[in-house]
Structure 1
Amino acid sequence: MSSAALTLGAASAAAPAALPTKTLANLASAWQGESNAKLRYELFAEKAEQEGEKQAARLFRATSKAEEIHAAKHAKAIKALGGTLPELVREEVTIGSTSENLKASIKGETYEGQKMYPGFIATAEEEGATKAVKTFDRALQVENDHAMLFATTLRLIGTGADSGFAVCPVCGLTVEDEAFEECEICEEDPSEFIAF
């Protein structure tokens, strides 16, 4: 082997890996969105409580916790990929009736689950950012479930429904209180779920 080949190989090995810049930007965007959703759902829960919609209030609180978990996972991925966490830019929140808040939530969660996260996953895969793929994929699965839970709860407005919910502390999966063996996304023991 020539000394030129050895030198080239050594230079290649020493070259730092390129940061997945698009993925880091997407993680920052997702972190901002999930952080703001957490705050928004807390406010929606207060409104639902004021209107006597106990099930909606519980669901908004549970979903707020799930979004907090997603934001924390996104922040961890940003740091693991060599990025820095941006400053949180708080969005202005418009609070309507509980029905209006549920409809807005369905729209937001559907967008994240069907448009935003699939695009973020594709970019992360292209850039080889496996930690980002994992956090985006878990969030995608949960956001689709949130949209369905919000739709079900919207149909129950005015009925006095008061079901409870539970949130997986690892991935944020949100479920109605029911018996199951493990989290369908991350396999966490249900005894660890946070009840609402």
Structure 2
Amino acid sequence: MFSRNVIMMSVAALGAISLASCSPTQPPAANVDSATPVAKQETPTLKNLQAAYNGESNAHVMYLAFANKADEEGYKDIASLFKAVARAEEIHRDNHAKVIQAMGATPKNNITTPDVKSTGDNLEKAMGGNLSQAIKGESYERDTMYPNFIKQAKAESNQAAVQTFDYALAAETQHAQLYTEIKNNLNDWKQASRQFYVCTVSGETFVNSPPTSCPQTKTGKDVEQVI
């Protein structure tokens, strides 16, 4: 009787081990550098990260609203571009959030209702004209905000912050160039003739031809098409 019970217990244990080995593994945690400094108080870089997180959160909402307006007005390619940019801003938002959390803080934003006008006016706003304090244009982020944030993060030896700011800066530079091209050729962007691709780690944005590798991450495996 004793030996029979032992055998039955052994079989049950082996079955449990087999089931455990077949269960799906959990996805890895967010890849944030373990050397990211934990802020015992709010450092300038943490303040900058919070400001960037708030800005990208609002930009994501704004560009989705702009996309709907462009679609209503018949600017199909502009609508698609705004959707791609919204996706890029979402990626930047999430990247900033990971670093904020790694520093021991909670990401905070204040979402405001976008002021949506005509597509031409919306493009002007996206490029930096007449913006609220919550949302800065791509040109401001490219020329002033992110370069200053990167400089401060380097001074604090916060490589994770430098990286997320670098990713955003590269994408905002592309967006500003695209907006300038569209603004000068608005009617050429009415047809749904272009495809848009976004690097899901850096937010870099490309038209028609997806990159073989994303310049910031050096990989082509993290590219998605935005419909």
Global fold match (TM > 0.5): yes
Q: What is the distance in 2 between the residues matched to 1:191 and 1:113? A: 23
Q: Which stretch has the larger CA shift, 76-85 or 66-75?
A: 76-85
Counting aligned pairs with the same residue, the percent is 38
**Which residue of the partner structure matches residue 81 of structure 2?**
59
Query: Secondary structure of 2:197's partner?
Result: strand
Give the aligned residue type for 1:121. Answer: I
**Could you give the per-residue CA deviations for residues 110-140 of structure 1, whole angstroms, max 9, x where no partner exists?**
1001100011111111111111011001101
Q: Is the Cα contact below 8 Å between 1:180 and 1:190 reproduced in 2? A: no
Deviation of 1:151 after TM superposition, in Å, equals 1.4
CA shift, 1:190, in A, is: 5.6
Deviation of the 1:194 alpha carbon: 2.8
Is 1:78 aligned to 2:109, yes or no?
A: no
| Structure 1 residues not aligned, in runs of 5+ | 1-15
Residues 144-169 of structure 1: CA distance to partner in whole angstroms, max 9, x if unpaired? 11111111122332233431211111
- What is the Cα deviation at residue 78 of structure 1? 0.4
Which of 146, 152, 168 is equivalent to 1:117?
146
Among 34, 44, 48, the alignment partner of 1:26 is 48
Q: Can you list the C-alpha shifts for 1:63-120, whole angstroms capped at 9, x where unaligned?
A: 000000000000001011222222x211232111101111111220010011000111
**1:48 aligns with one of 66, 70, 81:** 70
What is the number of residues matched between the two proteins? 180
**Distance in 2 of aligned mates of 1:177 and 1:31:** 29
Q: Is the 2:57–2:90 contact (alpha carbons within 8 Å) kept by the matching residues of 1?
A: yes
Residue type of the alignment partner of 1:113? R
Of Structure 1 and Structure 2, which has the larger fraction of its residues in helix?
A: 1
Q: Aligned-pair RMSD on alpha carbons? A: 1.8
SS at match of 1:178: coil
User: Are the aligned partners of 1:19 and 1:82 in contact in 2 as well (CA < 8 Å)?
Assistant: no
RCO higher in structure (CA 8 A, sep ≥6): 1
Summarize the alignment of residues 1-196 of structure 1 with structure 2, pairs less than 5 Å apart.
21-86=43-108, 88-107=109-128, 108-159=137-188, 160-162=190-192, 163-189=194-220, 192-196=223-227
Distance change in 2, residues 1:191/1:90 (3 Å): closer
Distance 1:158 1:51 in 2: 11
Work out the CA distance in 1 between the residues paired with 2:182 and 2:221: 22
Determine the C-alpha separation between the residues in 1 that align with 2:68 and 2:145: 28
- Higher radius of gyration, 1 or 2: 2
Match of 1:10 in 2: none
CA distance in 2, matches of 1:164, 1:79: 34
- The answer for the alignment partner of 2:8 in structure 1 is none
